[in-house]
Amino acid sequence: MRVVIVGAGQAGAALAAKLRTLGHAGDIVILGDEPAPPYQRPPLSKAYLLGDMEEDRLWLRAPEFWAEHGVELRLGQAVTDLDPVAKTVTVGGEVLEYDHLALTTGSTPRRLPAAIGGSLDGVYTVRTLADVDAMRAEFRPGRRVIIVGGGYIGLEAAAVAAKLGLDVTVLEMAPRILQRVASPETSDYVRALHQSHGVKVLESTGLDRLVGDDRVEGVALKDGRMLPADFVIVGVGITPNTHLAEAAGLALDNGIATDELGRTSDPAIWSAGDCASFPWKGGRIRLESVGNAIDQAEAVAANIMGAGEPYRAKPWFWSDQYDLKLQIAGLNSGYDRIVTRKGEGDAASFWYYRGADLLAVDAMNDSRAYMVGKRLIEMGKSPAPDVIETAADLKALLKG
């Protein structure tokens, strides 16, 4: 049984390794369009960009691991065709047959349209090793960087730039940073942190266009202001990579649609990671996180081997900015109340409730609150909000 995996990121690597752990003895081929072997993406906008991590420390596995475990890596070429009837993919002009195919194609950053300057030199996104290598030379003290988008990727890049002595401005069109993903309380905490490091945070601020001839020189705002810039980083979200699946006629629904096992509308094709949506509490969801990429890919590997076990997501996320470690457990969609718990020093946690149900926790430099919140959510327990606020020992709530 030959398994071909399209996508050499976190999900693809986890799927291949899990197949071998579970005893799969057939061929495993990973196809990746980047020349680098499977690597971690989260450090790109943090430790790697800051210069605190060398490239080889990004590798998910030592180079010899793949050969030792009989996993063939084919890197630096994109898959150009998928034929689900013939059960083949085409890469580099070669046609490869598969018994099972896994699409772990990830996602692509949204870019600003060329019509408003998005294709000018000096305009960057943060997704791949090549993206970060291309911009690293820009990070010199005193230079002016404008970051378009106040989400986690943009804010992490802002933190690195500020630490390196750059003049940093974050533009956010919405009324507050992190509006799509976090509570006002979390936004307030993170905004104050950035402002304390000299970052200018402009919210409710619309971008009109990027200005420059061949290279970006500034940003024109909707309100008529012009901000000078030496370079620009765009962090306005990602789009799941579904073009292969779409061309092959697979069902799409906010990504490549899978069933609870991770199987697509074609019984021989599976999907996992940023590109895949799956059933969740009566609807569908697509999660953009390392934790989901690993867990979902390993579940798919088990189901390729015949386990028949539904994937039960346990959402968790994190972000590192300056000395802040923000850890998130659960999904906050639909919350109607926030409970704030103060910790020691600058530690705090924000607990999301819908009615009496605990949905999620944002823990700011508070690993205990994160750990307890994650366990409570996984156990289906919802302590009363006033208990969360006043409990002397959070861990005791796990026993109640």
Q: What is the DSSP string of 345-391?
A: TT-EEEEEEETTEEEEEEEES-HHHHHHHHHHHHHT----HHHHHH-
Mean pLDDT of 184-189: 98
State the chain's mean pLDDT as an integer.
96
Mean pLDDT of 382-400: 91
Cα-trace Rg, the chain: 22
| pTM score, whole prediction | 0.95
Claim to verify: residue 122 and residue 173 sit in the same structural domain: yes
Domain closes at, from 175, 199, 234: 234
Mean pLDDT of 66-77: 97
For residue 157, the model assigns a pLDDT of: 95
Claim to verify: residue 274 and residue 330 sit in the same structural domain: no
Claim to verify: residue 211 and residue 359 sit in the same structural domain: no
Claim to verify: residue 115 and residue 230 sit in the same structural domain: yes
Q: Identify the three-state secondary structure at position 267.
A: coil
Claim to verify: residue 204 and residue 219 sit in the same structural domain: yes
Residue 400 has pLDDT above 90, yes or no: no
CATH of the domain at 329: 3.30.390.30
Burial grade of 154 (CB within 10 A; 0-12, 13-18, 19 or more): buried
For residue 104, the model assigns a pLDDT of: 98
Residue 84 has pLDDT above 80, yes or no: yes
Claim to verify: residue 213 and residue 117 sit in the same structural domain: yes
Find, among 259, 268, 313, 255, the residue nearest to 100 by Cα.
268
For residue 399, the model assigns a pLDDT of: 87
Claim to verify: residue 133 and residue 85 sit in the same structural domain: no
For the chain, what percent of residues have pLDDT higher than 70?
Answer: 100
pLDDT digit string, tens, across residues 317-360: 999 999 999 999 999 999 999 999 999 999 999 999 999 999 99
In-domain check, residue 84: yes
| Contact present, 278 and 252 (Cβ < 8 Å) | no
Q: In which domain, by residue range, is 371 found?
A: 323-398
pLDDT digit string, tens, across residues 235-281: 999 999 999 999 999 999 999 999 999 999 999 999 999 999 999 99
Annotate 153-180 with three-state secondary structure: HHHHHHHHHHHCCCEEEEECCCCCCCCC
Instruction: State the total domains in the chain.
Output: 3
Claim to verify: residue 186 and residue 275 sit in the same structural domain: no
Claim to verify: residue 19 and residue 121 sit in the same structural domain: no
Claim to verify: residue 116 and residue 196 sit in the same structural domain: yes
Claim to verify: residue 35 and residue 76 sit in the same structural domain: yes
